[in-house]
Amino acid sequence: MPADSKTRIERINQVSAMARTSWIALLGYLAFVGVTLLGVEDADFFVPSRQTQLPLVNVSIPTASFFLFAPILATALYVYLHIILLKLWDAIADLEDPVIDGQPVGDALVPWLVNDWALSVRGGPFLPARPLRALGNLASFLLVWAAAPLALFFFWWWSMPAHRPFLTLFLAACFLIALTAGITGWQTAHAWLSGNRPPPSGQSPLWTALRELLRSRDPARARALAAAFRDSLRRHAALWALGLLLAYVSLVRTVWPTADRPPLARANVSNVELVDLPAGWRDWETARTAFRETWCRREGLDMSVCGQPSDADRDQSSPQVTHDRGAWCSKHDIEGDAPCNQTFARLDARFDEDWDAERRSAIADLPQLDLRGADLRSIQGQGVTLVGANLVEARLEGANLRGARLEGANLRGARLEGADLRGARLEGANLIGAQLEGANLWLAGLEAANLGMAQLERADLRGALLERADLRGARLEGANLWLAGLEGADLWLAGLEGADLRRSDFRKSDWSDASTRASPAQFADLRGVLGLTQAQLDNLIGNEGTLLPEGVSETGEPWHVWSCWETPPEGLDALVARTAEPVFADPEVLRADFLCSPDNPRRKTGTPLPLDAPYPPGHPLADR
C-alpha cells in the first residue's frame, strides 16, 4: 500500500471512530428521550405534581423542563455528528484508488454502515456489489439523517396541547435547525462524494455578515448583510418557507386559531384526576346526605322528622311527614301549621349554612391546583376531576367538560363560551363574572354556586340544578332554563329577557329588579318568589300550569300572567328557534301558542297555590 493511501485510510478510520462514537451517543440519547416521550400525557403539562419520569436514572422532572432541555441536547448532538461527518466525506472523496493491496478499499476501512454508504455514493469499483446493500443504505439514512429530526418533530407536535406558544416555537426552531443540518449534510455528502463540489459562493455567509455588522455599523457591512440575506433566500428558499410554515402552524395551534385549518390543538385530560382526591371522598349529594343525618342527630331530631334535604320539599306534604312533624311541634309547644312550617324552614336554612361551611372546609384541605389564566381552550376533559381548582380567568372556550367534577372550583372571570358542561358538577363553584355565552349546562349541578354577573346569554341550562345559586346580575338573556331547578336562587338584577322559563322551579328565589321581557313561563313554579312584581309577570306568558303566589300583587289584583303576546316581541324568531330545537317541537305550533289570535285570545291565567301545597295532578314538575 502506498504511503499516501495508507495515511488516507488511517485518517478515514480515525474520523470514522469519532463519528461512530458521536452517532452511538446520539442514538442512545434518542432512545432514552423517545421512551420518556411516549410516557408523557397532556395532563402532565398542567399539574406540577405529575412530573415526567426519566427511565434508567429514575428521576422525575417537570414536563415543561423536559420539553425544553431534551431537544436542545438532541439538536446539539445531531449537529455535532454532521460536522464530524463533513470531515469524513472530505476524506473519502479524496480516495483515488478503489483497490489497495489487491483488496477493495471498503475492506480496509473500519466496518460501519456509514462508510459503506459513502463508498456506494462514490459508485464504480469503490464498493463491489454485495447482498443487502440497499437495506444497509436505508438503515444509514434512517439512523444518521432521519432519527433526530423525527424525534424533534414529535417534541414539537406533542407540545401543542399545552398552548404555550413560545415553547412550541422554540421546538420548531430546534426541528428546523436539525433539518437544516441534515439536509446540508446530505447534499454536501452527495456533492463531494460524486466529485461535483460546487464553487464557493461570492457572498459572505449570512451569520458572518451579521457578525461583522454588529462589530462595526458600517453602511457597507449593512449592504453586505442584505446581499447575504438575499443569497440565503435564493439558495435556501425551501428551508425559509418551511420555517415560516412551522411558525404559522405553531401559532395557530397554540394561541391564534383561525377559521381555516389547522385547528387549535386539544389537550386530552378525560377522566384524569388533576386534583388527587383522598380515599373515601364523596360527591356533593352523597356527602350532603351523610352530613344531614349527622346534623339531624346533633339537633336532636329523628330522621323521620328531619328528613333528607333533597326530599324535604317533596315529602313534607305527605301524610306521614305532616303527622310526624305535627307531633314533634306539639311536643315542643309549637301550635299551628304555619309556626310549625316556619320552624322547619329555619332549621333547613341553618342546615344549608352549616353544610356549606363543612363542604368548603373539606375542599380547602385538598391539594390546590393553580391554573389561573391557563389556556385550556378546546380541552377534552370529560369526567376530569378539578375539585377546588383555581381557574380564575382561565380560558376554556369550546372545552368539553361533560361530567367534569368542578365542585368548589374558582372560575371567577373564566371564559367558557361554547363550553360543553353537560352533567358537570359545579356545586359551590365560584363563577362570578364568568363568560358562559352559548355554554351547554344541561343537567349540570350548580347548587350553591356563585354566578354573580356571569355571562350566560343563550346558555343551555335545561334540567340544571341551581338551588340557592347566586345569580345576582347574571346575564341570562336567551338562556334555556327548561326544567331547571332554581329554588332559593338569588336573581337580583338578573337579565332574563328572552329566556325559556318553561317548567322551571323558582320557588323561594329572589327576583328583585330582575328583567323578564319576552320570556315564556308555561308550567313554571313561581311560588314564594321574593321581590316579584306584577310588572315582571306582565312580561311573561304562561298557562294554567304556571304556579303563582297566593294573594294580590302590588296592583291590588290577584297575581296573574298573560296567556300570549298581542304583538310579537323583539327577537321572537330567535326565541321560537331556541325553544323548539331542544325538544324537537314544531316552530309554527310554538309561534301560534306564543302569539294571540282570534283562536288564541289574550287572557289572564296562572294558578295561585300555597308554597307548601303539592303539585296539581299531571303537573310536569310533580315527578321532578
pLDDT digits (tens, 9 = 90+) for 506-515: 999 999 999 9
Report the C-alpha gap between 499 and 586 in whole angstroms: 18
Q: At what angle do helices 165-193 and 237-252 cross, to 10 degrees?
A: 160
Mean pLDDT of the chain: 88
Does 156 lie in the same domain as 298?
no
Residue 220 sits in the same domain as residue 165: no
Question: Does 215 share its domain with 105?
Answer: no
Residue 468 falls within a domain, yes or no?
no
Structural domain of 169? 3-198
Task: Check whether 608 has a pLDDT greater than 70.
Answer: yes
Distance CA 409, CA 426 (A): 7
What gap in Å lies between CA 609 and CA 612, rounded to an integer? 8
In a domain, 550, yes or no: no
Of the two residues 195 and 413, the one the predictor is more confident about is: 413
522 assigned to some structural domain:
no
Do 89 and 131 belong to one domain? yes
DSSP 142: I
Residue 266 pLDDT more than 90?
Answer: yes
624 in a structural domain: no
- What integer pLDDT is reported at residue 310 of this predicted model? 47
Domain endpoint, select from 345, 364, 383: 364
Distance between CA 290 and CA 293 in Å, rounded?
5
In a domain, 527, yes or no: no
DSSP 3-state of 573 = helix
25 with 156, same domain?
yes
Over the Cα atoms of the chain, what is R_g? Answer: 37
pTM of the complete model: 0.85
The answer to which of 207-216, 353-362, 378-387, 580-589 has the lowest mean pLDDT is: 207-216
The residues near 310 (Cβ < 8 Å, ≥ 6 apart) are 285, 288, 289
385: β partners: 273, 405
Q: Are residues 96 and 26 in the same domain?
A: yes
With respect to residue 77, please indicate whether it lies within any of the assigned structural domains.
Answer: yes
321 and 354 within one domain: yes
Query: Is 258 within a domain?
Result: yes
Measured between alpha carbons, how far is 205 from 220 in angstroms, rounded to an integer?
15
Q: Is the pLDDT of residue 292 over 80?
A: yes
Say if residue 185 is in the same domain as residue 221: no
Which of 58-72, 124-138, 306-320 is predicted most confidently? 58-72
Report whether 498 contacts 519 (CB < 8 A): yes
Q: Quick one: pLDDT at residue 338? A: 83
Beta carbons within 8 Å of 505's beta carbon, 6+ residues apart: 484, 485, 486, 487, 524, 525, 621, 624
**Is 347 contained in some domain?**
yes
Coil, helix or strand at residue 74: helix
Peptide bond just before 62 cis, omega within 30 deg: no
Same domain, 168 and 211: no
Measured in degrees and rounded to the nearest 5, phi and psi for residue 90 equal -65, -45
Say if residue 90 is in the same domain as residue 232.
no
Residue 314 has pLDDT above 60, yes or no: no
Q: Please give the tally of structural domains in the chain.
A: 3
Query: Which residue is listed with cell 363568560?
Result: 435
Which residue among 364, 384, 413 closes a domain?
A: 364
> Which residue did the predictor score with more confidence, 114 or 404?
404
What's residue 237's pLDDT? 77
Q: Are residues 186 and 210 in the same domain?
A: no
The model's confidence at residue 312, banded by pLDDT at 50, 70 and 90, is: very low
Q: Is pLDDT above 80 for 72?
A: yes
In the predicted model, is pLDDT for residue 486 greater than 60?
Answer: yes
The single-letter DSSP state of residue 103 is: E
Residue 214 has a pLDDT of 59
Lowest mean pLDDT among 258-267, 338-347, 362-371, 523-532: 258-267
Which of 180, 198, 216 marks a domain boundary? 198
In this structure, the answer to whether residues 97 and 169 fall within a common structural domain is: yes
Q: How distant is the alpha carbon of residue 5 from its chain centre? A: 65
Confirm if 89 and 118 have CB atoms less than 8 A apart. Answer: yes
The string of pLDDT tens digits covering residues 175-226 is: 999 999 999 899 889 888 887 776 655 445 555 655 555 566 667 656 665 5
pLDDT band (50, 70, 90) for residue 258: low
- Three cell numbers, residue 469: 345559586
Between CA 418 and CA 441 the distance in angstroms is 10
